[in-house]
Each structure stands twice: as C-alpha cells, then as structure tokens.
C-alpha cells in the first residue's frame, strides 16, 4: 500500500513556516509536510507554486499558500462541527496547518455535481450540465501515470483498499458533498466538483510502533482541489483560471476566502 503521508504538494514555499518543524516527510506539487514535535502529528506548509496538466504547466500564484491554508482551515472546522472526522488540528500560521499524521490511501476520490473538465472531454457532455445525482470517481494517485481512473475492482485487486474501506470512502465523500454544497450555495458559490483524499490516522505505541487508526479526511479543501462557479455569473473562482489562462487567479482565491468569512 502507498506509504505517503498527509499531503499532496512543487516549489517555492511561502514564508511563515513553524520554527519547530522537523524533517521533511514529503514534498509535492502544492505543499511540504514536516514532522511535528509529536510523532503522530505533522506540519503541512502550503506553497505559492502552481501546476496543471500533470505538471506540464507550472507557475506561481502569489498568496496561494495563504489562501489555501486559511480556506482549508475554515472548511475542516466546518466539517468537524458536522460530524466529519478530518486530520486537521489547528492553523499554526498563515501558510501552515498542524494535522494528524495519516497513512494516505493511494486513491483520489472525485465527487461531481455538474459536468466540467475531464468529464466533459471524456463524455462529450457540455460543461455546466447538472448531474441528476453526485457522481463519484476514483483515481490512482500516480504522477508518473497521470493519476489514471480506476474502479472498485481495480482498487480491490491491486490492494489499494479493502471492500469495507472503499464503502467507507464512498459514504464519507457523499456526506461531505451533502454538507459542502448548501454551505457554498449560501455564499453564492456552486460546488461543481472536488477532489478528496483520505487516510488512516497513524497512532504510536509506547515502543514507537505504528498503529493504524480510523479513516479520516486528509489533504486540503481549496480552489486547488474544488471547482467553484459564481452562482449569479458563472465566473470560475478556482484553479481553472490558472489552467485556462483566464487571469485574475489571485483575486479569485481571495474572493473565495472572503465569502467564507476569512480575510
């Protein structure tokens, strides 16, 4: 099973990392994960760097680390208040979350409410077509392979998760969608689709042995991992502005944070 820990992340970290951080556990496209003081906790530091199309397009979005850390913090708190267990512990500084250390499933769970992006390309359906119910998709987390789509049988056959774990991921993803859709709607945002990552909490015995705990939501929830369209205008307020060279990327991220009550 994939050994990656709680993260997802590229280059150019924003300032404000915690002084007590330990060794780097993982560095990816959008974040760096450092060991925290407790063996079962990590610091997740958000970057300003941006990538798209499996890393073929790269750039920097000024303030992205700040926006995504604060947006994720707000949304994790909201979900926790409504019964969804997450890895979130606290917002440490402007670009850093302290989180529980996880054994991440090598699976991305995508929830779609409206046709957009790759779903439109694969099916020929027009972007903006509302789906009659949330559509769930699974993707194998592999940068080398371009995160290919997989189904339940692939996941079971390749040992990515058990049947019970897959059922749990589905249930949790649908619950998160049922909470976030009206939450964003109240703030003038349509939640088009979004990506989730889950993992098992890593606990440690007195002898230092790893003990796998409950399945919780990991990674982040932000304009990097969600598609947000303005309800009134249809304006895209997410990473698609970077992908499609629409401009106003920083302003879009800032607007999402503003609507969530942040600053």
The upper half-sphere exposure of residue 247, i.e. CA atoms within 13 Å in the direction of its Cβ, equals 0
Q: Which pLDDT value is given to residue 54? A: 66
pLDDT at residue 133 above 90?
yes
CA 133 to chain centre: 22
Q: Where are the domains of the chain?
A: 105-247
Q: Which pLDDT value is given to residue 1? A: 33
pLDDT at residue 108 above 70?
yes
Q: 236: which DSSP letter?
A: B
> How long is the chain?
263
Q: 107: which DSSP letter?
A: E
Bridge partners, 216 (sequence order): 199
Instruction: Say which range, 197-201, 205-209, 238-242, has the weakest mean pLDDT.
Output: 205-209
Distances, alpha carbon 134 to alpha carbons 4, 103, 191, in Å: 28, 27, 11
Contact predicate 179/223, CB 8 Å:
no
Query: Between these two residues, 222 and 29, which has the higher pLDDT value?
Result: 222
Q: Which pLDDT value is given to residue 44? A: 98
pLDDT at residue 9 above 50?
no
Mean pLDDT over 213-217 rounds to: 99
Task: Locate 133 and state its tokens.
Answer: 């119910």
pLDDT tier at 154, thresholds 50, 70, 90: very high
| Right CATH for 105-247 from 3.30.470.20, 3.30.70.260, 2.60.120.20, 3.40.50.620 | 3.30.470.20
Q: Whole-prediction pTM value?
A: 0.90
pLDDT in tens, 52-102: 776 677 888 999 999 999 999 999 999 999 999 999 999 999 999 999 999
pLDDT at residue 240 above 90?
yes
Q: In angstroms, rounded to a whole number, what is the distance separating the alpha carbons of residues 180 and 176?
A: 6
The upper half-sphere exposure of residue 9, i.e. CA atoms within 13 Å in the direction of its Cβ, equals 30
């Amino acid at each position: 099973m994939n050994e990656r820990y709680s993260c997802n992340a590229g280059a150019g970290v924003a300032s404000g990392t915690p002084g007590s951080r330990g060794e780097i556990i993982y560095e990816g496209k959008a974040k760096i994960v450092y060991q925290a003081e407790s063996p079962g906790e990590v610091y997740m530091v958000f970057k300003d760097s941006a990538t798209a199309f499996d890393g073929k397009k790269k750039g920097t979005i000024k303030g992205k680390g700040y926006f995504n850390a604060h947006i994720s913090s707000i949304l994790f708190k909201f979900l926790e208040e409504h019964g969804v267990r997450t890895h979130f512990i606290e917002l440490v500084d402007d670009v850093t979350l302290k989180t529980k250390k996880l054994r991440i499933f090598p699976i991305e769970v995508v929830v779609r409410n409206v046709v957009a992006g790759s779903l439109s390309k694969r099916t020929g359906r027009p972007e903006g077509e509302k789906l009659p119910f949330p559509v769930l998709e699974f993707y194998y987390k592999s940068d080398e392979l371009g995160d290919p789509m997989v189904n339940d049988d692939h996941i079971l056959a390749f040992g990515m998760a058990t049947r019970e774990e897959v059922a749990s991921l589905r249930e949790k993803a649908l619950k998160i969608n049922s909470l976030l859709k009206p939450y964003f709607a109240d703030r003038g945002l349509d939640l088009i689709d979004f990506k989730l990552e889950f993992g098992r909490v890593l606990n440690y015995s007195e002898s230092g042995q790893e003990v796998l705990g409950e399945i919780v939501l990991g990674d982040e929830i932000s304009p990097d991992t969600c598609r947000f369209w303005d309800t009134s205008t249809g304006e895209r307020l997410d990473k698609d502005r970077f992908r499609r060279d629409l401009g106003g990327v920083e302003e879009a991220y800032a607007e999402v944070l503003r609507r969530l009550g942040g600053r």
